Structure 1
Amino acid sequence: MIVDVHAHTPTHTGPVPDADRLTYQGWRTDRPVTTTNSWDDYDAAMADADVSIVFNIAVDDPLASTGLDYRPEDTNAATLAFTRAAPSRRVGFMSVNPTRPDALDQAERWRAEGLVGIKLGPNYQEFDPLGAPALALYGWAERAGLPILFHQGASPIRHAPLRYTYPLVTDEVALRFPELRIVMAHMGHPWGKETVVTIRKHPHVYADVSSIYLRPWVCYESLLAAVEWGCADKLLLGSDFPIANTGEAIAGIRRVNDILAGTALPRVPAELIENIIHADALGALGLTDAITREPW
């Protein structure tokens, strides 16, 4: 089974009206990204995945032009409706801001509704990932058995603090919450080596490869580091829709060695790439029954 662990909830249930259509230049270097999309657009993008994990980032100060355009209530309601429409193929994660006074109440509410994990972007949501409110949410998630997928690494958004997404911050989180299942998005690009040494030491910390294939050297360096440090089995497939789609993600990591033609540099083993594509992501995150379970 192919599981795409990193996709964003569509902005529109039906076709996107021309007046609503938005693109953003900053997410890719080769072309602009259309940040408004329909349920059908999502299904087309996920055609090569059997199951996808879907979410958005709840921000209190929306940045519509970049695609960060959902307030907490909107993003979770949209994700829930979308996953309920195809529960055997879509697994929904909530997003909450730990600094909101009702954060834990909201987390419990959306858990009860059927969202089975949490997506956090401390840089976009403007909270300290090692601050007391965030630690309280991690503790709740650990007790409740909900995995957390963190945005890690670079962002083109100027106001988003890079220090909040540096991979070694996740090491601190995992030290305090050893049973919390964590996914480090984008292999922390460009800090792939820091991500690798973090997932290597923590049994329940993983990384997804979303978007790294858009930058060939980052992709090669990051995957080779996982090979050399013996933790390539901790890598999960992700596309980062709408920035890319599952097929593009698969093709991109399969091309990881293309830049090495004519060199003696070490290759990333082909079997490793196939293991990422077919990784048991739901099992790793404690979500084996996520596509069949009833709401709590």
Structure 2
Amino acid sequence: MNIIDARVRLPQELRPSPTYAAPRRQTEQYDRVLQLTDKMNTGGLADLLQVMDAEGVGRAVMHAESEGGESAEALNEALCQVLAKHPDRFAGIGCVDVAGVRPTRIARQAASIADLGLLGITLQPAFFGLDIDDRSLYPMYSRAEELGLIVAVHTGITYSRMHPLRHERPELLDQVACDFPDLTLIASHAGWPWVTEYCAVARRHPTVYLEFGALAPKYVARAGTGWDPLFGMMPNVLRDQVLYGTDWPMISPTRAIAEWRASGLPGAALQALMHDNAARLFGLGSPSQ
């Protein structure tokens, strides 16, 4: 199988600051659970390419997301440089300046992202004190829908102790999907602990995809962890709306691929998860190629 990773991060070494840093209350639980700071500061592009080659990951979608304090233009420029050097390995999703959000500005930034040839926009409204359906984001959603851009939104738990969970609730993404019915949305991290509700959002909106970046597949497949409804729907009614992703360097492709293969998913469901859905969504080749 030629695997497509739907979510990897722009390496820290290519960002405006070569060292990852954030407020302690934002990172302390991320570091305990995911070793975020260490992974961000040690994961380089050469390492990513090496593990992709070793694990049969032919393509990856690189996200230039920001959790605050970085210029969207600078991040998008750095992302484009990666794409120019490795056009056969990466596609790109850009970002907008959500901090101090100015609706007209982020709508223009969405248009700039389309002009750069990027596939969409990635954002984490909760890290800026915003709900997913905050009206200040609506001009950006509208422009993205008009231009055919995908929008990937952080959903579910954030380990930051500075940003409340209420910003991530499923009914907020559902509202955006209702208001922009032709906008393709990715629920990044698949919305735990509201798994049943996010399944319902995806089930009623074929424009909504659920992506597993930064999650350990063995827990998704383990009964009683809260993932049961989604894991049960992956071989059938939601098979075409799930995306394999690692959020590298948060989860190693080596671990993620091994755990998905051991999860018990039927072969057709694994093929859809790890290649076909991303190939169709991002235009990265025909299914089963």
TM-score by length of 1: 0.79
Given that 1:9 and 1:54 are in contact with CA atoms closer than 8 Å, whether structure 2 keeps it comes out as yes
In the TM superposition, residue 230 of structure 1 has moved relative to its aligned partner by 1.9
Q: Write out aligned runs for 1:33-52 (5 A).
A: 33=36, 34-36=39-41, 37-47=43-53, 48=55, 49-52=57-60
Is 1:179 matched up with 2:205? no
The alpha carbon displacement at 1:245 in A equals 2.5
Structure 1, residues 200-224: CA drift from partner, whole Å, max 9, x if none? 1111111112233266144852543
Distance 1:250 1:102, change over 3 A: same
Aligned 8 A contact 1:186 1:207 in 2: yes
- 1:8 maps to amino acid: R
In structure 2, the residue matched to 1:238 is 245
Instruction: Give the distance between the partners of 2:218 and 2:28, measured in 1 at CA.
Output: 16
Taking a change above 3 Å as real, the CA distance of residues 78 and 252 of structure 1, as seen in their structure-2 partners, is same
CA distance in 2, matches of 1:13, 1:177: 34
> What is aligned with 1:77?
77
Tell me the SS of whatever aligns to 2:92. Answer: strand
Q: Provide the C-alpha distance between the structure 2 equivalents of 1:148 and 1:115, rounded to a whole number of angstroms.
A: 11
Task: Tell me the distance in 1 between the aligned counterparts of 2:254 and 2:126.
Answer: 28
User: Residues 131 and 31 from structure 1, CA distance in 2 versus in 1: closer, same or farther, beyond 3 angstroms?
Assistant: closer
The 3-state SS of whatever aligns with 1:159 is: coil
> Counterpart in 2 of 1:253?
260
Could you tell me which residue of structure 2 aligns to residue 57 of structure 1?
A: 65
Q: What is the letter of the counterpart of residue 173 of structure 2?
A: T
Deviation at 1:140, TM superposition (A): 0.6
Q: Which of 198, 203, 210 does residue 213 from structure 2 map onto? A: 210
Contact 2:62 2:92 in 1 (8 A): yes
Partner of 1:143: 146
More helix, by proportion: 2
Residue 201 (structure 2) pairs with residue 198 (structure 1): yes
- For residues 225-248 of structure 1, the C-alpha deviation after alignment (integer angstroms, 9 at most, x for no partner) is 424872122111101111012232
- The 2-side partners of 1:130 and 1:8 are apart by 24
Does structure 2 retain, via aligned residues, the 8 Å contact 1:83–1:91? Answer: yes
- Alignment-derived partner of residue 96 in structure 2: 96
Q: Residue 9 of structure 1 aligns to which amino acid in structure 2? A: L
State, as a whole percentage, how many aligned pairs show the same letter.
Answer: 24
CA–CA separation in structure 2 for the residues paired with 1:21 and 1:95: 17
Contact 1:236/1:277 (CA < 8 Å) preserved in 2? yes
- Provide closer, same or farther for how the CA distance between residues 171 and 43 of structure 1 changes in structure 2, counting only shifts above 3 A: same
Q: Which moved more, 1:233-242 or 1:161-170?
A: 161-170
Post-superposition shift, 1:270? 5.0
Give the match for residue 7 of structure 1: 8
| Corresponding residue SS for 1:130 | coil
Distance 1:199 1:131 in 2: 20
Amino acid of the structure 2 residue aligned with 1:230:
V
User: Retained in 1: the 8 A contact 2:5–2:245?
Assistant: yes
Counterpart Cα distance in 2 of 1:32 and 1:276: 26
Instruction: Give me the whole-angstrom Cα distance separating, in 2, the residues matched to 1:136 and 1:194.
Output: 26
Aligned to 1:108: 111
Q: Which runs of 5+ in 2 are unaligned?
A: none
Match of 1:265 in 2: none
Extract unaligned runs of 5+ from structure 1.
63-69, 258-267, 290-296
Q: Which residue of 2 aligns with 1:281?
A: 278
In 2, Cα distance between the equivalents of 1:32 and 1:58?
18
- Supply the AA of the counterpart residue of 2:40: T
TM normalised by structure 2 equals 0.81
Q: Could you tell which deviates more after superposition, 76-85 or 148-157?
A: 76-85
